[in-house]
Amino acid sequence: MTLALLRLARTEGVGPLTFRRLLDRHGDPDRALAALPGLATRRNAPFATPPEAEIRAEAKALAKLGGRFVFLGDDLYPPLLALLPDAPPVLAVLGDAGLLAAPAVAIVGARNASVAGRRIAEDLAEALAAKGPTIVSGLARGIDTAAHEGALRTGGTIAVLPGGLDIPYPAENAALAARIAERGAVVAESPLGTAPLNRHFPRRNRIVAGLSLGVVVVEAAHRSGTLITARLGLEHGRDVFAVPGSPLDPRCRGSNDLIRQGAHLVETAEDVLDHLPETPRAMPLFVPRTLPEAPPDPAPDLGPPLEGSAQLLEMIGLSPVSVDEVARRCHLSPPELQALLTDLELDGRVEMLPGHRVVRSANG
């Protein structure tokens, strides 16, 4: 079962959304894998499923590193992350996998952070970790590094990598990653040996946000990767916090703008703890005006749509729209609407996007 799940997760063309839909439809990974050739014929595009020997080699290499896989649906899979519609099918973990289920706060920010910014992030992480929350960040230079260092002094921390678990990034933080693995956890979605590429960073950022009840931003320029993390957190009901900075420093313009839009202003750990919810919010704390977008995961053609979906397609255009807005216009019950949207997504006619939005596919 584990090898079949890993093969399905590692199949090129099967992303997080498709992985979940395939298992929902076929029941187990072996049947899902067996169905892929027929699906590839209907969608006129092959799936590249790795051979079993390759998957066995990856599992053996991870075990040699001292790590383990945690699959979506496992008892150890982080429950907050599982709430994301595009939750990673599998995580490779070094260190304490049980820490992934603990209450956590993300601290993220600029790679070229100021000395003051790094000091603030380090002090915040140290104070927060001492009071219980695990600190989550991305092991990047600047604010991420400071947050991990501060948390290690008093509590636990989780580092999420953009590439494979065996390729800490940046390389200068390899020793820090090893320390985190001893006292916390290092996590990666990509297979071992995957070098970090630009397209991997937004996916890494969604895991950072997804593991956390709140996201604290310390120094972030406009259109930065840090703001992607904040947006993803907001879309999934996580509280967003920001440390104010000088209006003369371009590294603070994005974080200051978050405060103007409604993020909690943070000067001390108590400012975070006083507003940190026990569970994600049903609705976002605020709706950001202009934050960077992360790419959606497309789904394959899995068969003809259900009766009535043609009328639903007419209501969905090439611009993303809220599923709630569609519900108000189509007069279907929530279960009926969800069934039709799922079938249309599996048919490749619509794409479900983060933030409970839907958009018509180009071939829809």
User: DSSP alpha helices (H): ranges in the chain?
Assistant: 2-9, 16-26, 29-43, 52-65, 79-82, 115-130, 143-154, 174-183, 200-210, 225-235, 253-261, 269-273, 309-315, 323-330, 334-346
Q: What local confidence, expressed as pLDDT, does residue 304 receive?
A: 37
Kindly state the helix (H) or strand (E) to which residue 305 belongs, with its residue range. Answer: none
Residues 2 and 161: their CA atoms lie apart, in Å, by 22
Instruction: Report the length, in residues, of the chain.
Output: 364
Residues 336 and 323: their CA atoms lie apart, in Å, by 13
Side chain identity, residue 246: S
Measured between its terminal Cα atoms, the distance across the chain in Å is: 34
Residues 244 and 4: their CA atoms lie apart, in Å, by 48
Q: What local confidence, expressed as pLDDT, does residue 302 receive?
A: 36
- For strand 239-243 and strand 264-265, is the pairing parallel, antiparallel, or unpaired? parallel
- DSSP secondary structure letters along 233-298: HHHTT-EEEEE---TT-GGGHHHHHHHHHTPEE-SSHHHHHTT--SS--SS-S---SS----PPPP
Which tens digit of pLDDT belongs to each residue from 29-72? 999 999 888 776 665 667 889 999 999 999 999 999 999 999 99
Q: What local confidence, expressed as pLDDT, does residue 343 receive?
A: 65
346-354 mean pLDDT = 71
